[in-house]
């Protein structure tokens, strides 16, 4: 997923997608350990997507805190 696509999502949607990616990563790692995974590069792409989502989620939460601090 591209960064802009993630930024357009709400926090709940990002968390839901994040959980799906983590589940997929687990399944891929199981396949890797049983020598059934042919496309090992998928693991790298999923890890990067997870990191990207976590980064954007933290940015959103930080921005929300900053806005609250300015109001209060």
pLDDT one-digit tens code per residue, 9-68: 999 999 999 999 999 999 999 999 999 999 999 999 999 999 999 999 999 999 988 888
The CATH number for 17's domain is 1.10.287
> What does the alpha-carbon distance between residue 66 and residue 30 come to, in Å, rounded to a whole number?
41
Q: Per the structure block, which two tokens stand in for 20? A: 């799906």
Using CB atoms within 10 Å of the CB of residue 52, give its burial: 0 to 12 exposed, 13 to 18 middle, 19+ buried: middle
| pLDDT of 38 | 94
Q: Domain of residue 67: give its range.
A: 3-71
> What does the alpha-carbon distance between residue 29 and residue 37 come to, in Å, rounded to a whole number?
8
Q: Per the structure block, which two tokens stand in for 66? A: 């900053």
| pLDDT of 72 | 65
Split into its structural domains, the chain has a count of: 1
0.85 surpassed by pTM? yes
């Amino acid at each position: 997923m591209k960064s802009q696509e993630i930024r357009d999502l709400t926090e709940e949607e990002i968390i839901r997608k994040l959980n799906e990616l983590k589940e997929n990563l687990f399944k891929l790692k199981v396949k890797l350990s049983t020598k059934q995974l042919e496309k090992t590069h998928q693991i790298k792409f999923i890890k990067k997507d997870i990191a990207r989502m976590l980064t954007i989620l933290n940015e959103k939460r930080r921005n929300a805190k900053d806005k609250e601090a300015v109001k209060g």
